């Protein structure tokens, strides 16, 4: 009955409301109502430096740590948004026994993950590129959430995110309090802390746009909210606020 209701009223919703709503963008998610999500191993496509000096090794190590942070913190916004997300140990066991390549998981039939393991959807993340300036750090990534029941994409987002620091009178970046606390807590340098906090904030912003899971209180109420576009750019300001940029602001 719920599926029939959506099919009947979706055309009216798209015509009668100004701008696309979550009910239209995430139509398949509202119909399927996935509960259990598996985050597949990160597909890291970003380049590393050829190691000629110590600074190259330090840079590569920073990217490796931040890439791992991107993967590990993707579960948090999903869990807080009402989904059951497989933990690191269970995810590692699934990845270790999976015989299909990442490309095959994205394109071939993955219904066995649903029938055998109870997984409703798989989240794929491509880390495409890193870049930085003297006081900013940027990352480009793509998110795809694919149903194990029908094989359709429930989410497809391409994002460029940048974290900016204030500078002193000499133009040197001035870390924020949260940056310093992060570096102290995890025992990393400040540059690595910038990248780790950048991807963590990006995960929160991208994945919390998904419809809330069935266990979340706002599951029904948010259907008519406006979703994020499929391609967008983020800027994390000096005060920690997050802004989605228009094309002309790039």
Classified as helix, coil or strand, 214 is coil
The pLDDT score that the predictor gives to residue 239 is 72
- What pTM was estimated for this model as a whole? 0.85
Classified as helix, coil or strand, 173 is strand
To which residue do tokens 């998110």 refer? Answer: 143
Q: What is the fold of 21-213?
A: Rossmann fold (3.40.50)
Residue (of 191, 78, 90) closest to 125 by Cα position = 78
The pLDDT score that the predictor gives to residue 99 is 94
The pLDDT score that the predictor gives to residue 248 is 44
Per-residue pLDDT of the chain (250 residues; tens, 9 = 90+): 444 333 333 343 344 445 678 888 899 999 999 999 999 999 999 999 999 999 999 999 999 999 999 999 999 999 999 999 999 889 999 999 999 999 999 999 999 999 999 999 999 999 999 999 989 999 999 999 999 999 999 999 999 999 988 888 888 888 888 889 999 999 999 999 999 999 999 999 999 899 988 766 555 556 656 777 766 687 877 676 788 876 545 4
What is the phi/psi pair of residue 10, to 5°?
-60, -45
Q: Is the dihedral of CA 236, 160, 109, 71 positive or negative?
A: negative
The pLDDT score that the predictor gives to residue 223 is 65
Looking only at the bridges linking them, the beta strands covering 136-147 and 153-164 are antiparallel
The pLDDT score that the predictor gives to residue 51 is 94
Q: 213 with 81: CB under 8 angstroms?
A: yes
Q: What is the DSSP string of 122-151?
A: EEEEEEEEEEE-SSEEEEEEEEEEEETTT-
The pLDDT score that the predictor gives to residue 228 is 73
The pLDDT score that the predictor gives to residue 123 is 98
Q: What are the structural domain ranges in the chain? A: 21-213
Classified as helix, coil or strand, 170 is coil
Looking only at the bridges linking them, the beta strands covering 136-147 and 121-132 are antiparallel
Classified as helix, coil or strand, 152 is coil
């Amino acid at each position: 009955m719920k599926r029939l209701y959506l099919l009947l009223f979706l055309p009216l919703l798209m015509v009668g409301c100004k701008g696309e709503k979550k009910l239209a963008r995430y139509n398949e998610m509202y119909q399927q109502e996935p509960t259990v999500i598996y985050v597949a191993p990160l597909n890291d496509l970003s380049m590393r430096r050829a190691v000629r000096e110590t600074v190259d090794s330090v840079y590569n190590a920073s990217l490796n740590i931040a890439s791992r942070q991107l993967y590990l913190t993707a579960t948090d916004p999903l869990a807080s948004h009402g989904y059951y997300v497989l933990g690191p140990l269970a995810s590692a066991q699934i990845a270790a026994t999976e015989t299909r390549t990442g490309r095959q998981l994205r394109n071939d039939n993955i219904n066995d993950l649903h029938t055998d393991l109870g997984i409703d959807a798989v989240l794929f993340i491509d880390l495409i590129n890193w870049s930085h300036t003297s006081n900013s750090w940027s990352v480009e990534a793509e998110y795809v959430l694919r149903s194990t029941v029908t094989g359709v994409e429930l989410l497809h987002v391409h994002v460029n995110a940048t974290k900016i620091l204030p500078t002193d009178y000499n133009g040197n970046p001035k870390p924020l309090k949260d940056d310093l606390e992060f570096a102290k807590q995890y025992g990393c340098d400040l540059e690595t802390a910038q990248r780790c906090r950048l991807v963590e904030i990006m995960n929160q912003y991208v994945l919390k746009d998904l419809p809330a899971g069935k266990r979340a209180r706002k599951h029904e109420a948010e259907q008519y909210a406006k979703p994020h576009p499929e391609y967008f750019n983020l800027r994390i300001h000096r005060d920690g606020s997050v802004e989605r940029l228009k094309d002309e602001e790039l």
